[in-house]
Amino acid sequence: MEGGYVDGGVVDGDCPDGDFIRLEGVEKVFEVRTRTGLLRRERRRVRAVDSISFTVARGEMVGYIGPNGAGKSTTIKMLTGILTPSGGRLRVAGIDPSRERTRLAQRIGVVFGQRTTLWWDLPLIDSYRLMHRMYRIPDRRYRENLDRCVELLELESLLDVPVRQLSLGQRMRGDIVAALLHDPQVLYLDEPTIGLDVVSKARVRDFLRELNAERGTTVLLTTHDLQDIEQLCSRVMVIDRGRLMYDGPLAGLHEVGDSERTLVVDLEREMPPIEAPPARVVRVEGPRQWLAFPASESAAPLVAHIAATCPLVDLSVREPDIEAVIARMLHRLEGAADPAPEGAVS
C-alpha cells in the first residue's frame, strides 16, 4: 500500500490496527436555554451523544446513519476536533482530537455536505495551491494526487473557476479533492452525495471505492442515501438519540428492522386488493396497487404469482428509504432498549 503519510510520523506504532478510531463511553452534553413565557428561560441538559463506544480498524469503510438529530454530526465533530467531548475517551490514530487538533488535522480529510472547505471567492486551483503549502505536501506527491483526483472526478476545465460559480455537484467534487490532497489516513464524509445527480453520485461512489481499495484510507460516511451505504459500506452503525443502536453489516439491518420493499402493480382495471402472501396491500389508487413484502425475501416468486393470477400491465419494485428502515428497526428495538434520554441534538 503506497502513499506514505505526509507528516512522516510513525503511525503504526501509535495504535494497533484494529483500533484506528476508538471511542469509549464518549458523551456530549449541551446546555440548551429555551424561552418559556415572556421573560423566563429554562435550562435543559441535552445528551446529544450518550455513551457511545465503537472501534474502527484501518481501511474500513463504515456508514454512520440515523434520523435527523440523532447525534451523527456531533460525533463527527468530536472525531475531527471541532467539539470537545463532555466525557469518555476518544482517540483517532492514537491522537486525542480535543487536545492535539492541528496534529490530527494533518491526517484527516473532511468533506462537509452543506459547507465547503474551499475558499469561496477564489478559483479552485488557488485553494489547492494553498493546501499544498498549508499541509506541507511534498511537491511530487501534490502533483500526483492533484492530477489523479482531477482526472477521476473530471475537474480539469473547472480549475480556474471561482468556487462560488460552481454547481453543487462540481463544488462537492472539488471538496473531495481538497480533502485528499494530503493523503489523509481517514476521510470523514458528511452527506457527500446530497443534491447530486445520478451520474455524479456514481462517479463519487466509484472514486471512494477505489480510494479505499488502493490506499487503504479509512472512510466514515454519514448519509441519508441507502444506495451510498449499499454500494460502499460493509459495516453500518445506526445512532438514535445519542445512542448506538446497531453496529454490523447492512444485511443485518434489514433483518433486525424487518424492513419491507414495495411492489407497485399496475393492473388493467380496478380490482379488489390482491392476495399474494407474504405481501400485503398497503395502498390502492384505481388500477394501481402498492404491496409491501419483507426485504429479505426475493421479489421473483411474488411477481410470478401476481402475473399468473392478475391482469398485469406493469410493475416495479421500490426499495425502502433508509429513514424507513431505521425507523422500523428502532421501533422494534425500542421495547428492549433503556428508557430514552431526554432529547437529542444533531
Query: Which residues make up the interface to other proteins (CB under 8 A)?
Result: 30-31, 74, 77, 80-84, 98, 101-103, 105-106, 108, 110, 112, 114-117, 119, 121-122, 126, 129-130, 133-135
Residues 6+ apart with CB under 8 A from 334: 340
DSSP, res 139: H
C-alpha to C-alpha distance for 55 and 57, rounded to whole angstroms: 7
| Cβ-based nearer residue to other proteins, 74 or 200 | 74
| Cβ-based nearer residue to other proteins, 82 or 310 | 82
CB 164, min distance to other proteins, A: 13
| Cβ-based nearer residue to other proteins, 167 or 316 | 167
CB 135, min distance to other proteins, A: 6
CB 176, min distance to other proteins, A: 14
CB 321, min distance to other proteins, A: 26
| Cβ-based nearer residue to other proteins, 320 or 341 | 341
C-alpha to C-alpha distance for 277 and 65, rounded to whole angstroms: 31
Edge-to-edge strand order for the sheet containing 235-240? 108-112, 186-190, 218-222, 61-65, 235-240, 243-248
| Cβ-based nearer residue to other proteins, 116 or 200 | 116
How do beta strands 108-112 and 186-190 pair? parallel
Residues 6+ apart with CB under 8 A from 322: 65, 223, 224, 225, 226, 229
| Cβ-based nearer residue to other proteins, 63 or 81 | 81
CB 285, min distance to other proteins, A: 40
CB 14, min distance to other proteins, A: 17
DSSP H stretches of helix in the chain: 72-80, 101-105, 124-134, 139-152, 168-180, 198-215, 226-232, 250-257, 300-309, 322-334
CB 199, min distance to other proteins, A: 27
| Cβ-based nearer residue to other proteins, 158 or 226 | 158
Cell of 201: 453520485
C-alpha to C-alpha distance for 291 and 306, rounded to whole angstroms: 11
CB 105, min distance to other proteins, A: 4
Q: Shortest CA distance to 230 belongs to which of 319, 132, 151, 338?
A: 319
How do beta strands 288-294 and 186-190 pair? unpaired
| Cβ-based nearer residue to other proteins, 107 or 203 | 107
DSSP 3-state of 94:
coil
C-alpha to C-alpha distance for 170 and 151, rounded to whole angstroms: 13
Asked whether 180 and 149 are in contact (CB, 8 A), the reply is: yes
